Structure 1
Amino acid sequence: MKLLDTKIKNKVLESMISILDNDRNKILEANRKDCSLFSKDDRAMYDRLVVDNKKIDGMITSVREVRSQEDPIAKIKSKRSLENGLLVENRTAPFGTIMIIYESRPDVTVEASVLAFKANNKILLKGGKEAFNSNKALEACWHKALKENGLDTRWIRLLHMNREETQRFLKRPPEKLDLIVPRGGERLISFTREHAQCAVLVSGRGNNFLYVARDADWERSIAVILNAKTHKISACNALDKILIDSAVPGFEDKLKELYNTLRAKGVLVYVDNKVADVLPNAETIKDEAIWHEEFLAMKCCIGSVGSLDEAIEKINTFSGGHSSTIMTKDNDKALRFMEQVDSAAVYHNASTRFTDGGAMGVGAELAISTDKLHHRGPLGLEQLVTNKYYVFGNGQVRV
């Protein structure tokens, strides 16, 4: 893998900023073709597919932010001189070739590529067929930026393959793959893990939980729940499950208020048996499997728990390991929740919608990793590197 000078990488990104702005009408026209062929019945998928001027502005901002960030390659992580005279340095290094598999979101074609490229990785983009025209237009922008600066277009490539062709590609890749990032549901992740011949870093399902402790500020809890559930239902950081402590003062009245507030916003509410006693008009949960489900829709579940420990156990049993929130005035209780809940991001009195590279100050993100190796949470520029040991000697031999 040839290491590119930071200046040339930043020049490509400068070009890309101008090209995205100048070619926005081509991008919008390509996206209109995709949208006209897609059914709006799947609202979450359709929302992800749509590109407008605001979304193009967001792409430009992502490229600009990554351009301004420090080059993450060849940074010294550790350095030590040994008694035998060897100097051992651990430095950051590119992965090599990254493949990302994703559905619907054309903006991933920009965000994933800008991060991979600045971190000196080649990237193979396997977008969904529903965004074919949009992705093709964005790939053309990247290729124009690369050519303007004398670089090979193979740094950033869009793969046009159906499911069977993708399976064959993963089993017998025609070139060396170093990392695959599947962004999607359980079927995509299982498919990738089954067939991949290299490391897989999972950007898994959301299915995020919020627990309202008995001492929580109720008005604040309602506001956070509404934001987390209804702000953007197509996001993996949207809220799906709400657990209410049964010792909350005015438990029944507060359940009714929460239910009515959610229904007024168009949210379909499922409830467990104890909550159903208070909310007989709500849909009663008949299959416990629903607690595992990521909705990506105007749906949620409300359940009752008797303690903080019960809430933690339920979250760790059913959640996707993405984001979890506790609403409480007790800082010690919050810290206990945050330490024991097994999620990539844990919150105290805040919406799960902040699990996002930009919102967390990371900048553009390749994905939200729910894996524990090598990184968990937003995959930004600093996370798209591996490491390499540089050992300097003057003839030492081991005895």
Structure 2
Amino acid sequence: MNNNHNQVLTRLSELLKAHQFEIISENQKDLAYCNQEDKALYDRLKVDENKVAAMIKCVEKAIETEDILGKTLYSYHHPKGMLIENKIVPFGKIFIIYESRPDVTIEAAVMAFKAGNKIILKGGKESLRSNLILVKLWHQALSENGFSEDNVVYLDLSREEIQEAISKNTYKADLIIPRGGDQLIDFVKKNSNIPVLISGRGNNFLYVDDEADFEMAKKIILNGKSRISVCNALDKVIINKNMPNLEAQLHDLVKFLKENNLDVYGFGEILKLNSELQKNENPELLKEEFLSEKIVLLLGNSLEEAIEIINENSGGHSASIITTNKNKAEKFQTEVDCGAVYHNASTRFTDGGEFGLSGEIAISTQKLHFRGPLGIHQLTTNKWFISGNGEVR
């Protein structure tokens, strides 16, 4: 089946290359109405030549991805003579609601389509022109290869109409993915009987152990803030209070981060050790996803306490430990309740493309049905196939 699907994707790649300046031009019209003071929103919305190139790369990687539809997961020969098999099949129809990012219109639909699904797209009004030109190219690629345009549907509807579509399942979706703020996710969870896959907030933590390479830690922390608009950005850093030369190391870290234009806050005891830290002791601060230049530093008494703080406050997305002690790293990665857990590496790698998945439709922060970046192979389910010859029980 996916040979034909690959023909569609090949044509889509060609169309993206041929129309990249038209795509950028439509995006410029969206950007003209965007509040540029909201740096995270503006960054997510902007499409330039690099963004188009990334869309094309996603399509090309998807073409190369192995087709697993129909793969047998389990086989059993029943004593009565039947062959019982469990096989991989598509979900069916996926409904995704997202904000700002026009590249999702390509990436999410590519993941769904390659996995044999249909997809319903609902982007934010701020990216309407960008999304419509991309869907137009999708429809051209589909129709030229004998596929119905309803494989990729874009909904240009009001908020009220979308809420009705969610609550009444107007489009008969088999799975819904709300990629947005807590308000959207809460509405979907409370008002829809469609199975929900949560692509939740980031609010990622990094723990600097007392056996850490501190220069490595500095580099990884800064990289965690290299893009503020993404869900894999770093927001909180826990430093073990038994760190050798703690005050000097902390002074060096704060100076380094401020020199790189970050707003560095302290929470709790750490404020006594450095007067350059901005103060914020609101307990809700530890649960907040910033999507800004803000970063918070705090002290931890032990590895166990750091794990407890992370599990209590993070969004369940990504967390990292910096340590030279492999046993501590293993304990951290085993016990921290996040979709991606790192040892001596940046949370910024939590991404379908970086994980070799060709792309992602979302990054799931729940445990069912997959967790972390969801690529082509994760957008499938299973089904039992039983072949008999008149058997009865």
Give the alignment's TM-score, normalised by structure 2. 0.98
CA distance in 2, matches of 1:290, 1:164: 32
Deviation per CA, 1:6-51: give whole Å up to 9, x if none: 2211110111011111111211111010001101111011001000
Aligned partner of 1:273 in structure 2 is: 268
Answering whether residue 116 of structure 2 is matched by residue 109 of structure 1, we say no
Answering whether residue 376 of structure 2 is matched by residue 376 of structure 1, we say no
Contact 1:31 1:131 in 2 (8 A): yes
Matches within 5 A, 1:313-392: 313-392=308-387
Matches within 5 A, 1:241-260: 241-260=236-255
* Aligned equivalent of 1:143, options 118, 139, 144: 139
CA distance in 1, matches of 2:276, 2:261: 15
Answering whether residue 62 of structure 2 is matched by residue 85 of structure 1, we say no
CA distance in 2, matches of 1:26, 1:195: 38
Aligned partner of 1:303 in structure 2 is: 298
Contact 2:169 2:194 in 1 (8 A): no
Q: By how many angstroms is 1:342 displaced? A: 0.2
Matches within 5 A, 1:1-150: 5-150=1-146
Deviation per CA, 1:318-367: give whole Å up to 9, x if none: 00000000011000010001000000000000000010111111111101
Q: Count how many residue pairs are aligned between Structure 1 and Structure 2.
A: 393
Equivalent AA in structure 2 for residue 116 of structure 1: A
Contact 1:146 1:153 in 2 (8 A): yes
Query: Which deviates more, 68-77 or 377-386?
Result: 68-77
Deviation per CA, 1:129-166: give whole Å up to 9, x if none: 00000000000000000111121101001111222111
* Aligned equivalent of 1:216, options 209, 212, 215: 212
Answering whether residue 223 of structure 2 is matched by residue 227 of structure 1, we say yes
Q: By how many angstroms is 1:72 displaced? A: 2.6
- Structure 2: segments with no counterpart, 5+ residues: none
Deviation per CA, 1:44-84: give whole Å up to 9, x if none: 11001000111111111101110111223111111111222
Secondary structure of 1:381's counterpart equals coil
CA distance in 2, matches of 1:150, 1:24: 24
Deviation per CA, 1:98-141: give whole Å up to 9, x if none: 00110000000000111111111110001000000000000000
Equivalent AA in structure 1 for residue 229 of structure 2: S
Answering whether residue 381 of structure 2 is matched by residue 393 of structure 1, we say no
CA distance in 2, matches of 1:209, 1:286: 17
Equivalent AA in structure 2 for residue 395 of structure 1: G
Contact 1:245 1:307 in 2 (8 A): yes
Contact 1:357 1:379 in 2 (8 A): yes
Deviation per CA, 1:245-301: give whole Å up to 9, x if none: 000001111111111111111111121231111122322222110100000110011
Contact 1:72 1:381 in 2 (8 A): no
Aligned partner of 2:150 in structure 1 is: 154
Contact 1:270 1:282 in 2 (8 A): yes
Q: By how many angstroms is 1:205 displaced? A: 0.3
Contact 1:217 1:328 in 2 (8 A): yes
Secondary structure of 1:26's counterpart equals helix
Aligned partner of 1:199 in structure 2 is: 195
Matches within 5 A, 1:155-194: 155-194=151-190
Name segments (4+ residues, structure 1) moved above 6 Å: none
Contact 2:6 2:63 in 1 (8 A): yes
Q: By how many angstroms is 1:233 displaced? A: 1.0
Contact 1:213 1:328 in 2 (8 A): yes
CA distance in 1, matches of 2:161, 2:270: 48
Secondary structure of 1:199's counterpart equals coil
Contact 2:254 2:276 in 1 (8 A): no
Equivalent AA in structure 2 for residue 207 of structure 1: N
Secondary structure of 1:39's counterpart equals coil
Contact 2:205 2:238 in 1 (8 A): yes
CA distance in 2, matches of 1:9, 1:79: 28
Secondary structure of 2:75's counterpart equals strand
